[in-house]
Amino acid sequence: MSEIEYDFIVVGSGIAGLYTALLAQEHGRVLVVTKAGLEECNTRYAQGGIAAAVGSKDSPRQHYRDTLGAGAGLCNRQAVRVLTEEGPARIAELIDLGMHFDTVQGEIALTREAAHSLPRVLHARGDATGMEIELTLARLARFSRVDLWQHRLVTRVLVQGGRAVGIEAVDLHQARRQQVRGRNVVLATGGGGRLFFHTTNPPVATGDGVALAYRAGAEVESLEFYQFHPTCLYHPGAPPFLISEAVRGEGGLLRNEGGERFMEGQHPLAELAPRDIVARAITREMQRTEQPHVYLDVTHLPPERIRLRFPTIYRTCRELGLDITQDWIPVAPAAHYMIGGIRVDLWGRTNLPGLFACGEVACTGAHGANRLASNSLLEVLVFVKRLVQLAADGSAAASQEQAEEAFPLLRTAGPPGQVPQEDEQEVGKGELRRLMWDLVGIERDAVGLKRALSRLAGWRRARPVGEGLQERLELEFMLLTASLMAQAALLRQESRGAHYRSDYPESAPDWQRVIVQHLP
């Protein structure tokens, strides 16, 4: 056990972790623990931008309505109100920290994305918004009072007397375990796109935080809702690469192999329909035409506009032999964003005292069953500010604010947190990711979900295999998080938002409730 005791231990170094650390350093000693390098996280791959009602024709009320519309009837209205009303002030604070958004004639440039009623998405360097935010915060963190542990994978949240009191981590270079105590433990570990075979996420997104929190006794919520981005570049052999939703916001059209637009008639907003609708429409078109992808066409737009607005996308595609000003872009859906996560209140608190969560790993309820595009980065800024305020001084506002249950809860025991390891069938990440894509992916049914749960249970009883310590530890987390996700998907006997059951293709009024899982 380290002799140092911190006021804040922050696990993760994406925008959620770094923003927490930078705000928390004003209130005590802060440690950031990250399993990779400081800048390796999901945030840097967020191309589209950050949504906020900062335009002269916009309002928090309109942003609120759009968020509810995308959330398929499961948004926590209190959380959405906090998100949309406090968002503009958080954007101003980010700019004060040194963040530079794109401008036109001195005004912040705004673009429109799917399910937004008007342009409200801020962006930086065209399509490098996440990278710009991450680099801004990482630069500040390196010159701050924050202590940093890189290449340490957190394996356990330490619990004593019913309270989180610290963490245990493994130094991945020296294979040495370390423990450190902290008054507040904040999980900001990001999502779990690497649970699926096709994903826009980097290798670090293995769902660690959900498993850590669950094992410690925290509740998890809405894990059946996983958002699949409709347009990931399809180029065999190339690393996963997202084609931002903003490309469709600027006028990009989806076409099949024959050049036909297929989103017309699917939804009044066509290409700008909510992501779940577009992703399923693309999947079905691929099945109908027996092709591994469809196309995104921007060749009708001015070439210079494309090069200036999407420099990263243009350059990356060019390196792969595609000139997107002349060639259609082959695209297919991929796992993108974990809508559910660790259950938190409007101040980032879990049900385990001393344990907080923020960012993609947390479930505030603001996204409901289907996240509105570019709300995720704003959610970080808004709820991290509240988390630090509460953890630092007990915030009188938090005690006065009465949290209400937005919907009836279906509480259920999840799979055991720890499973005895026996010599059964061994599994690697590849088999797990293929299983999740095939059976717990864009379209699900009871037969496939039961088969997935059975396989996952057997794999969790086996000895995880991998080429190194990190690989094996991550696989344990992945198997637990995948099991929780498949269990929640089986329980929800309807289709809603990002969760689609082919055996229950309609939404059901009696399923307007939230699934919460906890240790047996």
Q: Active-site residues: which are they? A: 275
How are strands ordered across the β-sheet holding 294-297?
226-233, 329-338, 294-297, 253-255
Judge contact between 20 and 188, C-beta under 8 A.
yes
Q: Which residues contact 499 (CB under 8 A, 6 or more apart)?
A: 224, 225, 226, 369, 444, 489, 492
Q: Which residues contact 291 (CB under 8 A, 6 or more apart)?
A: 256, 257
Residues 92, 383: Cα–Cα separation, whole Å: 15
520: tokens are: 């047996």
Residues 304, 345: Cα–Cα separation, whole Å: 46
Residues 425, 319: Cα–Cα separation, whole Å: 41
Residue 10 in 3-state DSSP? strand
Residue 18 in 3-state DSSP? helix
Residues 6, 85: Cα–Cα separation, whole Å: 32
**Which residue reads 């297919």 in tokens?**
332
Residues 520, 516: Cα–Cα separation, whole Å: 12
Cβ atoms within 10 A of the Cβ of 11, count? Answer: 28
Parallel, antiparallel or unpaired: strands 152-160 and 147-150: unpaired
The dihedral through the CA atoms of 10, 207, 379, 93 has a sign that is positive
Judge contact between 486 and 456, C-beta under 8 A.
yes
Residues 218, 362: Cα–Cα separation, whole Å: 11
Judge contact between 154 and 11, C-beta under 8 A.
yes
Residue 259 in 3-state DSSP? coil
190: tokens are: 């990001």
Judge contact between 513 and 410, C-beta under 8 A.
yes
Gap between the terminal Cα atoms of the chain:
29
Three-state SS string over 319-334 comes to HCCCCCCCCCEEEEEE
* Nearest partner of 208 among 483, 481, 519, 489, judged by Cα: 481
Judge contact between 425 and 482, C-beta under 8 A.
no
Residue 198 in 3-state DSSP? coil
